[in-house]
Structure 1
Amino acid sequence: MSEQINTRRRRLLGTTVAGLSLMELGLSGLANAQAVGSTSASRVASFANLRQVNAGTLNVGYAEAGPQDGPVVILLHGWPYDIYSFAEVTPLLVAQGYRVIVPYLRGYGTTRFLSPDTPRNGQQAVVAVDVIALMDALKIDKAIFGGFDWGGRTVNIIAALWPERCQAMVSVSGYLIGSQAANKAPLPPKAEFAWWYQFYFATERGYAGYEKNRNEFNKLIWRLASPKWNFDDATFDRTAQSFSNPDHVAVVIHNYRWRLGLAEGESQYDELEQRLAKAPTISVPTITMEGDANGAPHPEPAAYAKKFTGKYAHRNIGGGVGHNLPQEAPKAFADAIVDVARF
């Protein structure tokens, strides 16, 4: 099932509701759209308080809002983004009674490795293991998940491997589970071109270049992945702070090198990766989403619809929405979370 949604009219209402909810929650500075070329300062939404908890191999930084006894929603960002992709989604969900948890992934923000000896590993399975460890640390048995990019892949993995921990799921760009074996197959030239940064990261020049120019690099990715999103400097700078994490570059580079089979993963995750390499189906209730202006590599909805064997719907989001869908269309994303919880 596909639902065509034009978000232009809904954004105004969503932004107004989010602004009221942000103030009620102690979250400050609602993001206001700023026209290209405008010199006026814009305010950006921010989480007032961050928390830290030891979970698995990490001390995880995360934002939390909403009632402690509310149904739990865990929202996961991707690269090169952070928790602020969900700054306007969060109050919309809290207004519906949800307890919302938004963690920094490994290598981002205030999340840190507990030991200097732990490999700065970015393989797909380990990010999902991190989230399960966070749930255990917070004594959360089951949650509704939402994510995009790395976060979308991670919620897919949790739903596939630990369905008992996943009540329902919203995944931008659908089914993103991969494997090193599958990634050995060459793509058509146009598709390979879209992954230019992956090949750059495969080189030592790319490692050094990303380390030296991470903010400029990531701002370029934002523009390419969301060509119609007129974000301002304040919005980017708020997120760019998370890239100063001491492990950010190592985790990002390992993630992309691992995908191409140029870097090894950790042996304790081999069994999980073997299961993921079989492209397991997902049985939990799911809504997948796609923006009409997503400039990042992404599969067509028809290519993955059959991977979801439970109750399922797909939503195409119009209005020039790019890769960072939760931040560009927060009302549409929050609506999907609320709706999938009722499936």
Structure 2
Amino acid sequence: MIDRRTFSKAVGLGAPTALAVSGSLGAPAAAAAAAAAPEPAGSTHTGFPVLKQVDAGVLNVGYAEAGPAHGPVVILLHGWPYDIHSYVDVAPLLAARGYRVIVPYLRGHGSTRFRSDRTVRNAQQSAVALDIVALMDALRIERAVLAGFDWGSRTADIIAALWPERVKALVSVGGYLVTNLAAQQKPLAPKAEYAWWYQYYFATERGRLAMEDATDRTQLCRLVWQTVSPTWHFDDATFARTAAAFDNPDYPAIVIHNYRWRLGLADGERQYDQYERQLQARPVITVPTVTLDAELDPFTAPGDGAAYRDRFTGPYQHHTLAGIGHNLPQEAPGAFARAVLTADRL
């Protein structure tokens, strides 16, 4: 077991982004400053050397792969409005440590396509999670370390909660992000509601039309990048590489359905009801877990992880990354990679 005080040294990846460390393995939350060097100012990689496609469930999934074919598997899951390039610097770090790294495009993104035109373009949380289980089955992966942020955190959390036998360890940015539909009907503090402006925009016809228009969609997504990662000074080329994934023909429908479903404004499918009933009970996660909070992410809950600590009952560490925004793995790839290695050793 890696002690939280030697978090960066134990995994041998050099100095991390400054961390406030707390709540390790059930200890009381007590933030402590960690002396550290900053992350590199920009990405050192621009793409993935290997991109593949595989039929998995209702999808033909596009994914990047790095590292040895027979290494222990880590699956990295992106969020919105992002794509696999959020892990363009994380993947080589983990591959160099001997991991087989799988980075899939979620449904509606990049080269991932529905196998049938008749399949409902549904983005409710359990459907997206089952996509990743189907991908693991298609690639004959019994267990993997799952790590994600935003939609990716939610997806990884759900798999760890409902199918823990498939998850060796978990890294979840933002903690426990399983959507509670009842709670979604209650107002948040005004500042928190303000951060979710696009969710309410997508509930309107104007929002749907904006997502269907390539220019409006690109401008909206770039604005989200700028507002939720206020200190990340990405260049045009970095954004363009990810924005290409938004040209997927199912992207508008998937994004709109995801946010409308969360607010109770769009129906899910009956075939997922059994999973949603389990998720509404807020099941605990028992697998070894590292949770990460980004200090400057407007969606980071106050309390340094206290709001969701009781949902993780296995070996556990929590870290807050100072000066980092929402796209944590791309803003702080070294710290994210260290979290994966730490979770796998808990």
TM over 0.5: yes
Matched, 1:241 2:244: yes
Q: Identify the residue that residue 73 of structure 1 maps to in structure 2.
A: 74
Write the distance in 2 (CA, Å) between the matches of 1:309 and 1:146: 18
The answer on whether the counterparts of 2:50 and 2:66 sit within 8 Å (CA) in structure 1 is no
Matches within 5 A, 1:282-301: 282-296=285-299, 298=301, 300=303, 301=305
The answer on whether the counterparts of 1:282 and 1:309 sit within 8 Å (CA) in structure 2 is yes
Pairwise CA distance, 1:81: 0.3
Partner-residue secondary structure (3-state), 1:61:
strand
Q: Identify the residue that residue 306 of structure 2 maps to in structure 1.
A: 302
Write the distance in 2 (CA, Å) between the matches of 1:323 and 1:109: 21
Matched, 1:313 2:341: no
Pairwise CA distance, 1:253: 0.2
**What code does the residue aligned with 2:317 have?**
A
Pairwise CA distance, 1:299: 5.7
Q: Identify the residue that residue 31 of structure 1 maps to in structure 2.
A: 43
**What code does the residue aligned with 1:221 have?**
V
Q: Identify the residue that residue 41 of structure 1 maps to in structure 2.
A: none
Write the distance in 2 (CA, Å) between the matches of 1:4 and 1:61: 41
The answer on whether the counterparts of 2:160 and 2:167 sit within 8 Å (CA) in structure 1 is yes
What do the CA deviations read for 1:20-44 (whole angstroms, capped 9, x no partner)? Answer: xxxxxxxxxx835xxxxxxxxxxx5
Matches within 5 A, 1:313-332: 313-318=317-322, 320-332=323-335
Q: Identify the residue that residue 160 of structure 1 maps to in structure 2.
A: 161
Q: Identify the residue that residue 103 of structure 1 maps to in structure 2.
A: 104
Pairwise CA distance, 1:189: 2.4
Pairwise CA distance, 1:191: 2.1
Q: Identify the residue that residue 20 of structure 1 maps to in structure 2.
A: none
What do the CA deviations read for 1:292-326 (whole angstroms, capped 9, x no partner)? Answer: 211346464110011100011100112x2100000
Q: Identify the residue that residue 125 of structure 2 maps to in structure 1.
A: 124
Q: Identify the residue that residue 231 of structure 1 maps to in structure 2.
A: 234
Instruction: Count the aligned residue pairs.
Output: 315
Write the distance in 1 (CA, Å) between the matches of 2:48 and 2:342: 25
**What code does the residue aligned with 2:312 have?**
F
TM-score, normalised to structure 2's length? 0.88
Percent identity, aligned pairs only, is 57
The answer on whether the counterparts of 1:191 and 1:297 sit within 8 Å (CA) in structure 2 is no
Task: Point out the more displaced range, 78-87 or 191-200.
Answer: 191-200
Partner-residue secondary structure (3-state), 1:177:
coil
Matched, 1:58 2:62: no
The answer on whether the counterparts of 1:207 and 1:253 sit within 8 Å (CA) in structure 2 is yes
Write the distance in 1 (CA, Å) between the matches of 2:252 and 2:32: 38
Pairwise CA distance, 1:211: 1.8
Matched, 1:83 2:84: yes
Write the distance in 1 (CA, Å) between the matches of 2:341 and 2:300: 27
**What code does the residue aligned with 2:310 have?**
K
- Structure 1 unaligned residues grouped into runs of 5+: 16-29, 33-43
Name which of 329, 334, 337 aligns with 1:334: 337
Pairwise CA distance, 1:55: 0.2
**What code does the residue aligned with 2:233 have?**
N
Aligned Cα root-mean-square deviation (Å): 1.6
What do the CA deviations read for 1:99-124 (whole angstroms, capped 9, x no partner)? Answer: 00000000000000000010110101
Distance change >3 Å, CA 182–CA 295, structure 1 → 2: closer
Pairwise CA distance, 1:169: 0.3
